[in-house]
Every structure is written in C-alpha cells, then in structure tokens.
Amino acid sequence: METKSIFYLEVDKIKPNPFQPRREFNEEALQDLANSIREFGILEPLIVTRIEEQTELGTQIGYELLAGERRLRAAKIVGLNTVPAIIKEQIEEREKLEIALIENLQREDINSIERAKAFSELADKFKLSQREIAYRVGKSREFVANTLRLLQLPFEIQKALEDGKISEGHGRVILTLDSLDDQRVLLGRIISYSLTVRQAEASAKELKRQREPLSQPHDELSDMMAEFDPQTEQIKTKLEETLQARVMLKKKGEKGMIAINFNSSEELANILKRIIGEQGVGEL
C-alpha cells in the first residue's frame, strides 16, 4: 500500500539511492539551492522508500532516497534536521533506477554518459529492451540507441563528455570514425580549437579522406558496401539494439559480411555475453 501523505523525516535516517545514475553535483548550483531552501524551505517533498535494518538493538527503520538527492544535499548544507518526504512502499530495484533516472532527465541534471550508463544498466541488469527503456523514460527508441552508442567511445572521450569539454553532438561525430587514433585526433582538435559540431563533422570527413589511399582496391566487397537495402538496414538496427554496439552489415545477393565494433576488452566481453551467454564466456 502506498501513501501520499507528507512526513517530516530525520535527514540522518535517509540513505542515498544506490541506483542514482548521477555521479557529479555542481557545488555552486547546490549552494544556490541551499540559499533558496534557507529562505523559502523545501517546496517539493523528497520521495523515499522504507527499509528495515537488523541491529544489535533489534529492527531499526530507515529510509532510502528515490528522488530528490539535490534537495537532500542542500538541506544538509543548510543544517536542516528534517525534510518533507513522501514514502513509497514495495519498490523494486529496477524502479529505484527508473525513478532517479526520470527525475534527472526531466530536470536535465544528468550528463549524456551518466544517462547512457543508466540505460545500459536497465538493459543489462533488468533485461529491458531499448523500446521498453524508451517507453519508461518518455523518449524515442532512437534517442535511447544513440545514447547507448556513446559508451562505445574510448574512456578519455567519455570523460571529456562527462566533464563538459565536448557536447553529445561532438561525441556522435567522433563515433563516425572507425580508427581509434582518428577519434583521439578529432577530440584534440575539438578541444584545442573549440570546434562547433558542424566544424567537427568537416574535420571528421577530412580524417576519413586521409585514409582513403590506404583502402583496398575496388572489388566485390566494395560493391557490397555500396549497396543499400532497407531490409538489411532493419537487421543492422536490430543487431545494434541487441548487442549495444556499432554493427556493419553488408549484403550482395546471397553473400555478405557482418562486422561488430568494440573499443575495449570490456566491451568485447559484454558483446560476447549477449551472443553466447555468461556460461559460454566463462568457457573461453
């Protein structure tokens, strides 16, 4: 049973949401929120769930935060002893992640890599498809797919996204480059010369042209790569959704090729798990 009543709970009894996708909190913005709370109070209650812990003194009741981490942190800065909260009962782990993720998405308080990792956790840990994730967070499947592809970027480029040195649009442009070296070169250019997304696209095309002389001569494989087949594109999209990786699928007649891109041994392991399962990977 769930209650909509508002309770004033002790701050020290509220634990953070273990599934909170957001890892970084802007200190200046938190101080601004604290100043607002000091003047006007907390206008929107936090959302928590009740938890029981066994101690030497018996069962103790505590609370786990579902939504409102910024408000809770700001309340601690102000020095409040209690905060208003709504208690939700019987919350599953998946719902804890969904509630925190949706709150952050609605306020745009989460960076693209944190969002991608949260989507990935919903897919891997809770076995949700991209369409199911999209439905739960109120976004399109394409939005979810494009966000997940950011996890294919090398660590240093993901870190640049997290730190706000490049935008999500820049990240998508970098993903169009197959060479890890080219991706790093483009990252350096974007940061050094403050390139816009459009300028980054032009720079990516230049890097691709520089590699053209190293390409194989025109042959049957080149013909396959030049063909466009809507059905093949649908299969490619489905493979990318299932494997959560960039896939190249080319077909000519009854022949064809499939290439799966990965940027680390961890990404390769995740792809293998989705293809042959945990047990199969353990036997390799």
Share of the chain above pLDDT 70, in %: 87
- What length does the chain have? 284
Angle of the 27-40 helix axis to the 69-78 helix axis, nearest 10: 70
CA angle 213, 214, 215 (to 5 degrees): 90
Predicted TM-score (pTM) of this structure: 0.56
Q: Residue 258 forms beta bridges with which residues?
A: 249
3-state helix, strand and coil shares in percent for the chain, rounded to the nearest 5: 55, 15, 25
Is the Cβ–Cβ distance between 54 and 104 less than 8 Å? no
Q: What is the pLDDT of residue 284?
A: 62
Lowest mean pLDDT among 112-116, 184-188, 266-270: 266-270
pLDDT tens digits for 127-144?
Answer: 888 998 888 878 889 999
Residue 219 has pLDDT above 80, yes or no: no
Q: Per-residue confidence at 108, pLDDT binned at 50, 70, 90? A: low
pLDDT tens digits for 13-43?
Answer: 998 887 777 667 778 888 888 998 898 888 8
Average pLDDT over residues 65-78: 89
**Going from the N-terminus, what domains does the chain have, and what CATH number goes with each?**
6-95 (3.90.1530.30), 109-214 (1.10.10.2830), 220-282 (no CATH)
Is the Cβ–Cβ distance between 144 and 134 less than 8 Å? yes
Q: What DSSP string runs through 81-131? A: SEEEEEEE-S--HHHHHHHHHHHHHHHT-S-HHHHHHHHHHHHHTT---HH
Average pLDDT over residues 103-128: 79
